[in-house]
Amino acid sequence: MQDRVIIPLEEFPEEGVFIEGEADGALFGIDHTGAQSIGPLTYSLEAQLYETELVVRGSISAPFLLRCDRCLREFEYTVAIDGLTISCDVKGKAVADVTEELREEVLLELPGYPKCEISGLECEINDTFCDFRLDKDPHSGVNSATPSGNSVWDALDDFPRK
Which is nearer to Zn ion, 119 or 151 (by Cβ)? Answer: 119
Of 74, 53, 81, nearest to 123 by C-alpha is 74
CB-nearest residue to Zn ion: 68
Could you tell me the smallest distance in angstroms from the CB atom of residue 112 to Zn ion?
15
Q: For 10-76, what is the HEC assignment?
A: CCCCCCCEEEEEEECHHHHCCEECCEEECCCEEEEEEEEEECCEEEEEEEEEEEEEEECCCCCCEEE
CB of 69 to Zn ion, least distance (A): 7
Shorter beta-carbon distance to Zn ion: residue 25 or 114: 114
Q: Which spans of this chain sit near Zn ion (rule: CB under 5 A)?
A: 68, 70-71, 116, 123
Q: Tell me which residue of 85, 7, 91 sits closest to 53, measured CA to CA.
A: 91
Pick the closer one to Zn ion by CB: 28 or 75: 75
Contact yes or no for 26/3 (Cβ under 8 A): yes
Considering the complex, state which of residue 78 and residue 119 has its C-beta at the smaller distance from Zn ion. 119
- Minimum CB–partner distance for residue 111 and Zn ion (Å): 12
Residue 9 CB, nearest distance to Zn ion (Å)?
Answer: 46
